[in-house]
Amino acid sequence: MKRRPILDVSDLKTVFRIGGRQVAAVQDLNLTVAPGETVALVGESGSGKSVTSLSIMGLLPRKVGKVVAGRILFRGKSGEERDLATMDSEALRSIRGNDVAMVFQEPMTSLNPVYTVGEQIAEPIRIHLGRSHKDAAESAVGLLAAVGIPDPGRRARQYPHELSGGMRQRVMIAMALACDPVLLIADEPTTALDVTIQAQILDLLRKLQEERGMGILFVTHNLGVVAEIAHRVAVMYAGRVVETGAVTDVFRHPRHPYTMGLMRSVPKLGEATMLKRQGIPLPTIAGSVPSLLALPDGCSFAPRCPYALDQCRAGVPALAETGGRHKSRCIRWEEI
């Protein structure tokens, strides 16, 4: 039986005011996350991944960023479905940290340097769950233990600068899970970590998801991480989803030139050394992500695409069904 989603984003459009103009950073975005499911948002820097997560959380910079179209339907612990895009800041504060939580990319800049990590974890427990200072402090120690931090009682009394990068990221996860949210948004939580700690964090998230049944929206540019943790993937480019489907389908049979380029750009084991000996450069995607102030006509990827035709520049392609739940925003997906 198909599970009812806890997050259902439809036709989302987010704009920023730049130099007197409204520039679309995300548009035509449709996305769902079910309980116990991990959905990955993938793409280069500037593709709109983080703006999507900030739009869902209601954390866009005031007076600059704004959701102007679409719905963000969210079903919290009560079972009631609400549109986050239409809620005021006070109502959103009651949901953030309680029903939905976020793990940010760089824990050193996300944690407050003048409060102990225990106090920062205990704060949402007091605010949202109404627990006493003593009970909240005890829960904070328990959460530090749950995310695998040794000697949690002592660590709870320390400040962020006294912990390693991996421990700070675990503190961020503990803080996000403090009120047992139904949805966790993880914005590149492993980017600043070495591969060993990265693997530990992914294992931790998978374990906690199995225990709690929460949905995860995982924002990353790392395809290896996507293969490790996600069930479904949405590939973004220039503010739009260009391909989406089950991870196994998208990885085995990519149906958009951008996805194909991303996958070719990931070096295989031993490939870099072999190509260097032969004087052959590593595969890359030519060019760079276009400026949102000057998007090309039609398909935004056309200027970098080896398969582009004149028809590709005539209009923005629709996100078309290619079989099952696999979709591609390419008019030549069957040929390529």
Using 50, 70 and 90 to split pLDDT, how confident is the model at 192?
low
The answer to whether residue 1 scores a pLDDT higher than 50 is no
Q: 282-303: per-residue pLDDT in tens?
A: 788 888 889 888 899 999 999 9
CA distances, 86 to each of 34, 39, 96, 258, 328 (Å): 22, 24, 15, 33, 30
pLDDT at 333: 94
The answer to whether residue 130 scores a pLDDT higher than 70 is yes
Token duo for residue 106: 């760089």
Domains of the chain: 7-230 (3.40.50.300), 241-328 (no CATH)
List b or e across 200-213, with b for residues whose CB sees 16 or more CB atoms inside 10 angstroms: bbbebbeebbeeee
The answer to whether residue 195 scores a pLDDT higher than 60 is yes
pLDDT at 102: 92
Using 50, 70 and 90 to split pLDDT, how confident is the model at 137?
very high
pLDDT at 2: 59
CA distances, 231 to each of 37, 217, 247 (Å): 6, 10, 6
Task: Return the closest-CA partner of residue 319 out of 265, 250, 251, 244.
Answer: 244
**Residues 23, 93: Cα–Cα separation, whole Å:** 27
Mean pLDDT of the chain: 90
What is residue 318's DSSP assignment? P
Mean pLDDT across 184-202: 82
Q: 234-263: per-residue pLDDT in tens?
A: 999 999 999 999 999 999 999 999 999 999
Using 50, 70 and 90 to split pLDDT, how confident is the model at 199?
confident
pLDDT at 12: 97
Q: Which range, of 36-45, 193-202, 268-277, averages the lowest pLDDT?
A: 268-277
Say what percent of the chain tops pLDDT 70.
Answer: 98
On whether the pTM is more than 0.75, the answer is yes
Mean pLDDT across 10-26: 93
Q: Which range, of 72-76, 167-171, 202-206, 278-282, averages the lowest pLDDT?
A: 278-282
